[in-house]
Structure 1
C-alpha cells in the first residue's frame, strides 16, 4: 500500500509495525517485521531522515549515580510522526509525478497521432458536412476522363439526385466508360426507373444486385469515395476519399466482382440483333417491365414501381412472350438476353 508513496516493502513492514505502538525500539520492531535488529535500525534511521518517524529517549527512572564511571546510553525508541503530516508531502509528490507522466503521455500520443495522420493522409481523406461531401462527389464524377465505377444503394443523403444526373450526363457526353451496379432497393419509384433508363439509353451500363455492402464511386481508378453512415446517430454526412493504395485496389476488385455477378438491366439498343420490325418489336414500356422482372422483382413490386396495375404488367409480359415465341418466363429471359433486349 505504502509502496505507491515510495516506501520499500521492508520500510512499509517496519512502519506498519510501529503504527500499533506508541513507541518501540529497533529490536522490538525487528521481531514483529521479521527483520534483523541492525536492518530494523537502519530502516528506522532512514524513515526518521524522511520525517516519517521520530527518535525519542526514555526518561530516567532514578537520578544518575554520581559515582558511576561510565554512563550507559539509554536505548533509542521511535514513534510515528502523524501520517497526515508525514505522508501528505509524499502523496503530493506522487501526484505531481503522475501529472507529469500524464502530460508526457498525452504529448507522446499526440505526436504519434500526428505522425500517423501524416503517413495515412496520402491514402485516406475525410470529408465532413453536406456541402463538402456533395462537392467532393461531383469533383470525382466531373473530373473523370476514362472510367467511372459506381455502387448505388438506397436514397442519396448528401448529393441531390438532380446533381448526380447532371454529372452523369456530363461524363457520358465526354465518352467516359460509365458502369453502375445498383442495389435492388435503389430502384424505388417510377421516376428513378425512368431516369435510370434514360441514362442507359445515353450510354451508361447498368447491372443490379440483390444488395451491396456500401455506396461508392471510383474515378479513373485513381480515387474513390465511400460515404460513412453518420446520419442514424445524428452526425453530419461524411465520407472518405481513398487515393492510390492497396485499399483503392481492393475497392476496384469489389466493384468488378459485383459487376460480374450482377444482372443486366435495360438495353441501349446497340446490342440488339435479329429483332422483328414494326408492331412486332417490344415497346419501351414492355422492356421497362421486363427489366424489373429480370432484376428479381415480383409482378406486384414492378407494378408498384411503375405505377401500373398487376394486370397491365401481366399483359405486357404475355405480349413479350408472344413476340419471343416462348412458353415460360425463364425462356423469355434467355431470349431477351440473346437478342439484346436487356
Structure 2
C-alpha cells in the first residue's frame, strides 16, 4: 500500500505495526513483524531519519535516536501521517506529472516527425509473438474506450491473454463495445465467454457479416489483422495511428454498431434481439434507482463502489435499452416498464 510512497514491504510492515501500538521498541516491532531484530533497528533508524518516526526519550517528548549502555531500549512513535507522508505524496505526484508531460511531448514529437511518412500512420507487425504483444499493448493501454470487430477466427493471441486484457480494461472502467459477425458466434464455442462479457458490462451486438476484424483503442490507434489464409505465412497485422484512415475505421464501427442487434443474457446463455426485448440487470437497476433519486453520477459511483466510467457505461446501456435520448426519457420509460 505504501510502496508508491517509497516504503518497501519490510518498512511498511514496521510502519503499520508501530501505528497499531506505540510507543514501541525495535525488539517489540521485530516480534510483531517477524523481522530480525537488526533489521527492525535499521528500519526504525531509517524511518526516523526520514521524519516518519521519532524516538521517545524517557521524559516522554519525542527526540533524537540515541542511548547509553544500560539505558532501556529506545521506544519510537510515528510522526502523524498527515505531516510525514504528505511531502512524499507531493513528490510522487510531481514525478507523475513530469512523466505525463514527457509522454505527451514525445508523442507529439513522434507524430510531427512521422506525420508525412506512411510509416507514421501504418505499422506492419509480423509473427505470433509480435502480434500478441501489440494486441496486449493496445488493450492494456486503453484509458477510455475499446471498439472491437469480431470476425471469423480469433486474432492470433492466446485466449488467456485476451481474457486478462479484457478483464483489466473492464476493471479500469473502459467503455468496451463489441460488434460480432454472426458466423463468429456460430462457429466457436464462445457462449459462456459471451455471457460473462455481457454480464461484466461489455456492450455486445451482432450483425450478419463484417468486412474485417479490428480493435480500436481510445480512437488513437487501431489494429487490423491481415488475412494469411492463402499465403500460409506467419500471422501479421497492421497498426493504424491517428489519421484519416483511423477516423474512417472508427466511423465504420459506429455505423455497424448502430445497425447491429443487441445481445443479452438469458438463464441458459445469450440471445440476440431488439433493445425493447431487454431488461436491466440488478446492477443497472441499482444505478437507475440512485439516478432517479437525483444522485449525481459521481455520488452513485462512490455509493456503489464503482468507477465513474462504469456508472456512465451502465447509464448509457440503460438509455439504449429504453431507446431514450435523454435521462428524462429514461426515467419515463423506467416507470412505464416497471424497472423499479
Larger Rg: 1
Bin the TM-score by the shorter chain: 0.3 to 0.5
TM-score, scaled relative to structure 2: 0.46
